[in-house]
Amino acid sequence: MTEVDFSNAASVRAWLETQSIEKRCVMCSRVALRVLAGIGQARGDLQDRLALAVFRAVLATAVLGVGRQEGRSELESAAQFAAVALDSDDVRWAAGRASNVEHSTASSADSSAMGLIASSRSYSTVVDAANAAWDLDAAARCLTFVHGRIIDAAEADAQNQSSMLLQMAVWDQTEERISQDRDHVELLTFLDSHSDWTFFRRWYAQMWDGTFRDWDLAIEVATLPPALWEGEDALAKVAEAIRGLRRVGGHKCLFLWCAMPTIQHFNWTPKNRSPRNCCNTLESALAVR
């Protein structure tokens, strides 16, 4: 492997030019997962708004690393929508408010322990991860996060193929104390507080320990319509959509389920069709009804 200095953005950018989009998306999503635990430091509505935007963006970047070619343009569009939403004024405002809360309630020793999303540097790193697929400079900034432990982890990730990274714990398992970090535990507690977070709790926890495998469902969640992710009730809408996906097999058959009267009107059933063809056929049916 070419020698890379992960403390130097120019060196990392030059190296990224020789790597696949999948590799940089997986690596950047893993960096984001290492620093996002401070979401648990925000409070109330700020916490929900910030957490949903962050999880949406990191998930969208991670699924691009899976390397699926079918529906690739849809995945890229989903990642772009998520990146724009994460970098929007209202989410930046929520991150700034969360930073004020964190700095007023935590000691400097505590706040430097993990690299909090509530800090401006950590938030910017997650934004960079969200743009990694099409912006090499952003990817390089993400992978050169200032915390030494995160740089060491990125260097280790560089030695592996993207497919292997998707099956590996976010942190080296020899670092036993990582699992006890306050921010990680608080984030899991926050995600356990409401059933609407069930999918994201599972995805985050299993990505953390390297056991997440349900990428079909993850892709379908990442590509839910942008309108579902907007508004004060965004979390409830996304959670209900995910429950619908699970009820009908983990695909965008939520669309089919909601429109069953139209399907019956045309005496058409989706048996033996791919999920994407089901959606395309139903869209045509709806257009002419």
The DSSP element (H or E) to which 289 belongs, if any, is: none
Q: Are 206 and 198 in contact (CB under 8 A)?
A: no
Nearest to 279 by CA among 24, 87, 74: 74
- What's residue 16's pLDDT? 96
Nearest to 196 by CA among 230, 242, 231: 242
Distance of alpha carbon 74 from its chain centroid, rounded? 16
Q: Is residue 288 classed exposed, middle or buried when 0-12, 13-18 and 19+ CB atoms within 10 A define those classes?
A: exposed
Over 90: is that where the pLDDT of 73 sits? yes
Lowest mean pLDDT among 17-26, 71-80, 94-103: 94-103
Over 50: is that where the pLDDT of 267 sits? no
Distance of alpha carbon 138 from its chain centroid, rounded? 16
Q: What is the tens place of the pLDDT at every residue in 192-242?
A: 999 999 999 999 999 998 999 999 999 999 999 999 999 989 999 999 999
> What is residue 139's three-state secondary structure?
helix
Sequence length of the chain is 289
Q: What is the tens place of the pLDDT at every residue in 106-129?
A: 443 333 333 344 457 788 899 999
- What's residue 171's pLDDT? 86
* Angle, in degrees to the nearest 10, between helices 234-247 and 198-209: 80
Q: Are 23 and 154 in contact (CB under 8 A)?
A: no
Longest Cα pair distance anywhere in the chain, in angstroms? Answer: 65
Spell out the domain ranges in the chain.
9-223
Tell me the C-alpha distance between 3 and 91, whole Å.
37
| Token digits of residue 265 | 């009107």
Q: Are 86 and 125 in contact (CB under 8 A)?
A: no
Q: Between 47 and 11, name the one with better pLDDT.
A: 11
Q: What is the tens place of the pLDDT at every residue in 158-197?
A: 999 999 999 999 987 655 455 557 778 888 988 999 999 9
- Cβ contacts of residue 195 below 8 Å, gap of 6+? 239
Q: Between 252 and 9, name the one with better pLDDT.
A: 9
The distance in angstroms from the start CA to the end CA of the chain is: 58
